[in-house]
Amino acid sequence: MKFGAVFPQTESGTDVVAIRDYVQAVEGMGFDYLLAYDHVLGANPDREGGWHGPYTHTESFHEPFVTFAYLAGITQTIEFVTGILILPQRQTALVAKQAAQLDLLSGGRLRLGIGVGWNKVEYDGLNEDFSNRGKRSAEQIRLLKALWTNELVTFEGDYHTIPDAGLNPMPIQRPIPIWFGGGADAVLRRMAELGDGWMPNSMSMEKVRPVVDTVKQYVTEAGRSMDDFGIDVRLNSARQPRNEWSGYVSEWQSLGATHLAVNTMGSGFTTLDQHLQALQEFKDDFIS
């Protein structure tokens, strides 16, 4: 199992030196990857009509592609993972270009986690259609892979047209791995066909076991092997005390998880050094 750290987006602040030191320390501890959440816009909860959601305009979110491009130049080995990038609210060819550039700058250290999201306000602000985001995402993934693996692409889909054009420079990874967030049945079927792995939402072990079985079934039905398909899960240090970590990691290993990222947000920390201390405790228990 590979171990990662969730970049504490909402608690990281804007001190670039502190962010640099945090990421270099995470790499120095031996964590395999850094995972970052994605939100472009936060809604005002006092807006006309009201607003209910886990994030508002008061929470900070550093843009993943730009942040990772900066971090690529000051790190050596750590993998960069979007977890998850809200793909259908973004232009597909531009995502392909940005991801290819980041993969190049990082030396092939990008894993693209994608999802369809829940925040209609972001879709409206980015001039994209919220209602058909699931169907569009399937076509987006096919187009991304085509652009990352072919010098020239001619593509005519329901939502995209590429008239004999291509990216330059190309990414190092051809194609860049695409992992899926979400747990709806349509998402599970889509990722079994098109994805390289699954990033399950937070759910109890009792609820997740049958979903894992379904994922394995769909992957097999798609003519693929679980040997080539990963599962990346979260350990939330705010909800799970240290004495439960070992059992949680072992249980997920038994279910076939290949990756586990430690999320330190929500623990009341006020500095990145405190987040690092929590990661150090995990390192002491699991990373040699």
pLDDT tens digits along 113-124: 999 999 999 999
pLDDT tens for each residue of 216-256: 999 999 999 999 999 999 999 999 999 999 999 999 999 99
Report the distance separating Cα 45 and Cα 188, nearest Å.
Answer: 32
Q: How confident is the model at residue 156 (pLDDT cuts 50, 70, 90)?
A: very high
pLDDT tens for each residue of 13-62: 999 999 999 999 999 999 999 999 999 999 999 988 888 888 889 999 99
Provide the phi-psi class of 194: left if phi over 0, else alpha when psi is between -120 and 50, else beta.
alpha
CA–CA distances in Å: residue 94 to residues 56, 100, 166, 268: 26, 10, 12, 37
Exposed/middle/buried for 48, CB within 10 Å: 0-12, 13-18, 19+? Answer: exposed
Residue type, 120: K
Three-class HEC string of the chain: CEEEEECCHHHCCCCHHHHHHHHHHHHHHCCCEEEECCCCCCCCCCCCCCCCCCCCCCCCCCCHHHHHHHHHCCCCCCEEEEEEEEHHHCCHHHHHHHHHHHHHHCCCCEEEEEECCCCHHHHHHCCCCCCCHHHHHHHHHHHHHHHHHCCCEEEECCCCEEEEECCCCCCCCCCCCEEEECCCHHHHHHHHHHCCEEECCCCCHHHHHHHHHHHHHHHHHCCCCHHHCEEEEEEECCCCCHHHHHHHHHHHHHHCCCEEEEECCCCCCCCHHHHHHHHHHHHHHHCC
Residue 48, domain extent:
2-286
pLDDT value of residue 287: 94
pLDDT tens for each residue of 185-218: 999 999 999 999 999 977 778 889 999 999 999 9
Q: How confident is the model at residue 107 (pLDDT cuts 50, 70, 90)?
A: very high
Beta-strand relationship, 161-165 and 153-156: antiparallel
pLDDT tens for each residue of 64-98: 999 999 999 999 999 999 999 999 999 999 999 99
pLDDT value of residue 185: 93
The angle subtended at Cα 207 by Cα 202 and Cα 212, nearest 5°, is 85
pLDDT value of residue 218: 97
pLDDT value of residue 96: 98
CATH number for position 181? 3.20.20.30
Count: domains in the chain: 1
Angle between helices 245-255 and 272-286 (to 10 degrees): 60
Provide the phi-psi class of 171: left if phi over 0, else alpha when psi is between -120 and 50, else beta.
beta
- The tokens for 14 are 């804007």
